[in-house]
Amino acid sequence: MQRLIDSKDNGLIKMVTGLRRVGKSYLLKTLFKEYLLETGVPKSHILIIDLEDRRKKAFRDPDYLLSWVDEQMRGDGQYYIIIDEVQRVDEFEDMLGSLVGMENADVYVTGSNSHFLSNDIATEFRGRGDEIHVWPLTFTEFMTAYEGDIVDGWQEYYTYGGLPKILSIKGDDKKAAYLRNLYRTVYLSDIYERYEIENKAEFEELVRILASSVGSPVNPTNPSKA
């Protein structure tokens, strides 16, 4: 939050990056929105476009999105434009360039790891992008929401990690199932998309071999032969 606040109105596109399900959308659409309202920004000056919502499919057309923004920005003062999953917009780089060129627009976006790694931002936006990376919860942050003592909290944290959703899931089986599903349907999909991997079964076997060796000495030539 503090990095978002410090970057506010700096003339750059604020790009919130990080793992899927780490809380990027919540940070922007809930916490940062609340901050803007508390500091006196009118609700009508906060424009949120959630591209994960099927009902917002029309906004994937960059010209439609820009026209809609133009229609909303009728009043004086600064407008704050928040776009969630911006990579779903066709030609989103050009669209963002148009938005950031507007005098009274401050732009914030989230995107998937298949499009929005740090080197992508440096290459595609060349000084127009301000990356704000969100990490999973630290143990201290985890314990602020964990209902239990510190010993049980530590065991759960080192077993399941610091994704915020874990705190609201009850039962070890359900927590493990959530992580397995996230790994297969989200994280692997990002890797396949980014690197255009076709031999998915072979890739998953390689990952399994490497993961099974975590914490033990690994001869790098062995996995290369898999």
- Give the whole-angstrom CA distance, residue 29 versus residue 108: 10
Which residue did the predictor score with more confidence, 210 or 106? 106
- Give the whole-angstrom CA distance, residue 137 versus residue 123: 29
Taking alpha carbons only, the member of 32, 28, 57, 33 closest to residue 44 is: 33
- Give the whole-angstrom CA distance, residue 208 versus residue 205: 5
Task: Give the model's pLDDT for residue 112.
Answer: 72
CA 37 from centroid of its chain's CA atoms:
22
pLDDT at position 47 over 90: yes
- Give the whole-angstrom CA distance, residue 9 versus residue 80: 9
Which amino acid is residue 49, in one-letter code? I
Looking at the chain, the whole-number percentage of residues with pLDDT higher than 90 is 58
Q: What is the mean pLDDT of residues 135-159?
A: 95
pLDDT at position 63 over 70: yes
Banded model confidence at residue 158, pLDDT cuts 50, 70, 90? very high
Which residue did the predictor score with more confidence, 197 or 123? 197
3-state secondary structure of 108: strand
- Give the whole-angstrom CA distance, residue 224 versus residue 226: 6
Side-by-side strand order, sheet with 129-133 = 46-50, 79-84, 105-110, 13-17, 129-133
The tokens for 86 are 């911006």
Task: Give the model's pLDDT for residue 218.
Answer: 47
Q: What is the mean pLDDT of residues 17-36?
A: 93
pLDDT at position 124 over 70: no
Task: Give the model's pLDDT for residue 185.
Answer: 74
Q: What is the pTM of this model?
A: 0.80
Give the torsion through C-alpha atoms of 39, 40, 43, 47, to 10 deg: -60
